[in-house]
Structure 1
Amino acid sequence: MFATKHSAGALASELTPCELQELAERVASEVALRLSEQALLVSRNQIASLTSLSVADIDRATKNGDIPFIRRGRRVLYDPQDVVRALKNGGVSNE
C-alpha cells in the first residue's frame, strides 16, 4: 500500500539520518536500474536516419517482417539495437 504524506513523514522521523540517506540511495539505485532496462523506442523516420535506410525501405522491411517492431496503439516503433541486430543477420541492406 502507498504511504500517505502523514505516514511517510512518521516513517522519516523514525529513521536516523544515516538510515534515511541509505533508503534514498536504494530508491535512486532501483529507479536507475528500472530506467536502464527500458528499451529506447524510436519512430520509423528516426530508425531510417539511424540506419541510413530510406523510410520506404523501413516500411518494406517492417511489412516483410525483416526487422522487429512494436505497435503502440496506431504507432509503429523500433528498438534500434534490435533493428541493427536484425540487419546484421540478413535483414534489408542499405544499398
Structure 2
Amino acid sequence: MDGELTTQVDGFEAVWRPTHDTSKGIEVMAVHDTGEYPVVEVVRFAPGTDLAEARQRCPRWNRLWDKVRHEFWTEVAGPPARSAASGRWAR
C-alpha cells in the first residue's frame, strides 16, 4: 500500500506512510494537534524520519506511536497468509 495514512490518539493525529525500505518500515511525516484548543498546531519531521526516530524525538506521544505501529502491522502488512491446503499459517 502506498500513500499517506493517519492515526489518531488522545487528540493527536500522526501522518505516516509505509516505506519500501525494509530497514525502516514506517516513515512519519507530521503530527497534528486535533484537540478543541490545540497546544501544538503541527510538528513536521524531516523526510525519511522513521517511527523509532519520531518516538525518540517525541516520547510524550508513546501511545500514538504504539497505535501507528499496530495499524502498520494489522492494516498495511496484513495478517499472515494461511495455506488452504494444510490449514496452517505460513511463515
Q: Same fold (TM over 0.5)?
A: no
- TM category (shorter chain) comes to under 0.3
Q: Which has the larger radius of gyration?
A: 1
Structure ranking higher in helix proportion? 1
Structure ranking higher in strand proportion? 2
Q: Please, what TM-score do these two structures have when normalized by structure 2?
A: 0.27
